[in-house]
A and B are shown apart, each in its own frame.
Chain A
Amino acid sequence: MALASMMSADPVKTTSYKVVLPFYAYAAVSFLVATLLLFLSAGAFGRHYFHPHVIAITHTMTLAWGTMIILGASHQLVPVLIEGKLYSNVLAYISFALAAVGIPLLIYAFYHFNMNWMARRGGELVVDAIVVYLVNMGISMSKSKTENVHAVFVFTGGLWLLITTIVGILLVYNFSKPLFSQDSLHYLSLHANMGIIGWFLLLVIGVGSRLIPMFLISKYTNPKLLWKVYGLINAGLIAFIFMFLYHIPACYYLLPVAAVLSALLLFGYYCRQAYKKRLRKRVDEQIKISMLSVIMMLAPVVLMVVLIVALAITGENTRLVLAYGFAVFFGWMTAMILGMTFKTMPFIVWNRVYHKKAGLGKTPSPKDLFSSKVFVGMALVYILGFLLFITGILTTIVLVLQAGALLLLLAAGLYNFNVFKVILHKSGAT
């Protein structure tokens, strides 16, 4: 009995659903709010991107939707990545509460373009939430026996998020008390790209590179390649910040873009290898839409290259800036979340409802907890809405913008239907 003498291991300790589900619920409602605001303010997307409604919608998407769901999911996933456990549930609750109060204050202030106390307090609460999150993650990782590339991606992403929000709050103050040499509009691209590349991209690659092979049941791993991706993204972002602050001519921005594009291509190669070496031949719809978002990562980069060329030749191009932002937040980021929500949340709820019943009889599978028909409908409506709206931005036809926004609102409604169907699931309710 050689195996009997082997050292017994413990399975990974999962984080309590009570910590994670509030983030998911908050994010889902926020996505609905963002698409409703998009529909009500569709005309604003035919004007300049520095429009109060555009700024409010952007922050609803980035903070209330993207960041909240990522914070929630990372409380669940980081223990899996580090083979340890979350340091503190209480810190996770505090982080949620601070962000949940701060974000609406900030969005309301942006919508009415009031940069006084409400925007400031809101921004400060968001910064506090991120500090608490980073402390929790940092201590969890330091207590872990193993250090791995995925966890480093997540923590570095969190640091970039902190820097992004600190810059953001300084820009809010800069409206009333000049802190910088130029107005806040000038620094917007710095703030936006730190968030997009530093926070969202690093986090999505760090977590996706672990989850995609796991969901495909693929044995493919390549930490060396992921370290290269990590280096390229951080080097590209730091180079961009340096060039921005030292007023380097726009054409040189192609260098950091090339670094990020190389990183994306390497990550695409990584996903393709994982896909080729997968055990699961039938790939479900949730993974398909997540894989689609990997391809959709290239759209903002292509737009960025066009933007830089246009900037170098003709000066600023508002249409392209809006299309770039929309492609990032409503395209790539949202597609990834729409897919990954239903690859993570049903398992969390399944664990809550069926953990004690496992092995004692027939239980539904996690994918039975939501409607796959509604999911497919949501995906189709979403893709159509996205394509229509971005066409509307480029053509400035308000009717096309409104039609696109209406479809995105419908997609958000269907998404919420499924999210709450899962969250409210009880034993025997399928």
Chain B
Amino acid sequence: MSLITNSDIKSNIAMAALHNVIDPEIGLNVADLGLIYEINFDEDEMRVSTIMTLTTQFCPMGESIVDGVTQAMQQTFPEYNIQVDLIFDPPWSYDLISEEGREFLNL
């Protein structure tokens, strides 16, 4: 599922930053894990909104992961307002893991 929209360059920068946000339980970053559904740049309102999910709704590390995404985006785009929305529909599935992620997890 490729849902990255708007500015490709900025989206790539954002995804690179999100490679630093690790799901502590799995040890894989949120980008390769497929937790990031959308990153939208609103240049008029100077806002970056990220739509993401978690591997499970009950994830005890969820708060930490969402905060990690917020902090990584804030650090990368300090001039923008950062918004992170968490959704569980559509749910996360194994199919969303990238090739690099599959290699890391020995899938």
Contact = CB atoms under 8 A, between A and B. Distances in A.
Interface string B2-28: 010100000000000110111011110
B67 A355 contact: yes
Contacts, number: 113
A78 B69 CA distance: 25
B64 A355 contact: yes
A3 B38 contact: yes
Contacts of B60: 12, 14, 76-77, 80, 347
Given A350-B24, A359-B72, A8 B56 contact: no
Interface centre among A14, A77, A356, A358 (most CB of B within 10 A): A358
Interface string A8-27: 11111110000000000000
Interface string A349-366: 011001111111111011
A81 B40 contact: no
**5 cross-chain pairs, A with B, having the tightest CB-CB distances, nearest first:** A358-B68, A11-B62, A359-B72, A359-B68, A8-B85
A6 B25 contact: no
A1 B94 contact: no
A282 interface: yes
Nearest to B87: A6
A360 B20 contact: yes
Interface in A281-295: 281-282
A363 B22 contact: yes
A214 to B, nearest CB: 6
A51 interface: no
Given A217-B26, A359-B70, A361-B20, 19 more contacts: A1-B38, A3-B51, A4-B40, A4-B49, A6-B85, A8-B87, A9-B57, A11-B54, A11-B65, A14-B63, A83-B58, A279-B105, A279-B107, A347-B60, A350-B64, A354-B64, A359-B69, A359-B72, A363-B22
Contacts of B41: none
A143 interface: no
A210 interface: yes
A3 B87 contact: yes
Contacts of A215: 25
B72 A12 contact: no
A7 to B, nearest CB: 7
16 contacts: A6-B87, A8-B86, A9-B57, A12-B62, A215-B25, A280-B26, A355-B64, A358-B22, A358-B65, A359-B21, A359-B67, A359-B70, A359-B73, A360-B20, A360-B72, A361-B20
